[in-house]
Amino acid sequence: MTARHSGQGGFALVLVLLALTLLTAIASMALAASVGQLRTASIAGRVLSERTAARAAVDAVLNITRGFPASQVGDSAVELVRRPFGRSGWQRVLDLRLTTEMHALLGEAALDSGVRVSHARLVWWMDPEARIAAHAGAVESGTIAIGSGASVLTDSAMTGRPGIPSCHHLPRLSNLLAGRPLQVASGLPSPPEWGAGGDGSDFARVRLGWFGRRLLSRLADHSAAAGGPLPAAGCPGCWSGLVYSHGDNEVIRQGAGVLVVDGDLTFAPGSSWTGLILVAGDVTVHDTARIQGLVRGGGSVTLEPGSEVDGSACSAFRALQAASSLARPIPLPGRSRLAPVAPASR
């Protein structure tokens, strides 16, 4: 072999080696890219799983949580539930109380990746004391007519009654009524206390905070058709919970609880109701009939001669507190889910 051929062969060998090296480098880069893509996909998959788990945990808490909140405005979030997730992960839901009745439920979930993903939802959680504190008068209505000899008492709104303990220990209610004594009568409050405003037709006739007509009907402990019988109280301090009437009705006996009427309400002579009364239409209280608590009527309230309203904020509070079906967080109507919270280190 000549020197020239030998040189050409050596050069070709170098080219082959360079080509092999380049191919190896390309293959290594492709492998590294594939591994990176797999790692990215794996991380994205874990984050998606964690986010789904965080959201599911919040939804589950909304379905099962009963009772009034333990969290306080300005305090740290309270853990409502915590449970295992995956092989070594966890998920939990925290309750952060933003205002008296507005809460953020924060769901968190983490696998073994060392990060947690959060999902938050804005909810309304009724506070009985705040609900009663929103009443300015013993009777709130569009118009009120008080006949000769009828009486509306408001001088002992926080005092106990037979079977009903005093409410002087409730700071918000006591402080409010000390600075603004309960009036005999007052006009109807603005939404979201009463009336639909921009909140939708479900709140147009009757509402209790963010409980609209359909939800109040669904959660009722006792449901009555128009003109159907309303439950009677078995003893002083015995409550019937939430009572809902689908249309006009009449109180003919002694009852107690939260009475919601999607229509007009009439009190027969000698009848009585203790607690909180919310009526979409007109309220007529006949001679010798008696109300102990607070009344809110969307139309007119007529107190005929000999009737009585004992403006007891304490009775209304106790009735609302005893309506356990209302003691639950509910998502605000419309868009209540907050923007996804980015993953954070543990």
pLDDT tens digits, 2-11 = 544 455 555 5
Write down the number of H helices and E strands in the chain: 5, 18
Per-residue pLDDT of 134-193, as tens digits, reads: 999 999 999 999 999 999 999 889 999 999 999 988 988 888 777 778 999 999 999 999
Distance spanning both ends of the chain, measured CA to CA:
72
**Choice among 191-200, 248-257, 273-282 with the minimum mean pLDDT:** 191-200
Q: Where are the domains of the chain?
A: 1-126+327-346, 129-326
Mean pLDDT computed over 257-277? 98
Q: Mean pLDDT over residues 49-64, rounded?
A: 86
pLDDT given at position 35: 44
Contacts of 8 (CB under 8 A, 6+ apart): none
Residue 243: partners with Cβ closer than 8 Å, 6 or more residues away: 220, 221, 222, 223, 224, 230, 231, 255, 257, 258, 259, 260
Poorest-pLDDT segment among 149-158, 252-261, 299-308: 149-158
How confident is residue 15, by pLDDT bands cut at 50, 70 and 90?
A: low
Report residue 13's pLDDT band, with 50, 70 and 90 as the boundaries. low
Are residues 109 and 269 in contact, defined by beta-carbon separation less than 8 angstroms? Answer: no
Mean of all residue pLDDT scores within the chain: 86
Residue 124 in tokens? 């309304």
- Interior/surface letters 247-273, b for 16+ CB within 10 angstroms, e for the rest: ebbbbbebbbbbbbbbbbbbbeeebbb
- Across the range 312-336, mean pLDDT stands at 92
Is residue 32 within 8 A of residue 25, CB to CB? The reply is no
**Among residues of the chain, what percentage have pLDDT more than 70?**
84
Query: How confident is the model at residue 243, as a pLDDT?
Result: 98
pTM, full prediction: 0.82
**111, 155 Cβ separation under 8 angstroms:** no
Lowest-pLDDT choice from 108-117, 129-138, 214-223, 228-237: 108-117
User: So what's the pLDDT on residue 213?
Assistant: 96
Give 166 or 47, the one with higher predicted confidence.
Answer: 166
Q: What's the pLDDT score for residue 249? A: 98
Residue 203 · residue 196 · CB < 8 Å: yes
Check residue 236 and give its pLDDT: 85
User: Which residue has better confidence, 111 or 247?
Assistant: 247
Do 283 and 265 touch, CB atoms closer than 8 A? yes
| Mean pLDDT in residue range 319-335 | 92
271 pLDDT band, cuts 50/70/90, is very high
Among the ranges given (1-10, 216-225, 323-332, 336-345), the one the predictor scored with the smallest mean pLDDT: 1-10
User: What pLDDT is stored for residue 232 in this prediction?
Assistant: 95
pLDDT for position 32? 46
pLDDT band at 50 (very low <50, low <70, confident <90, very high): confident
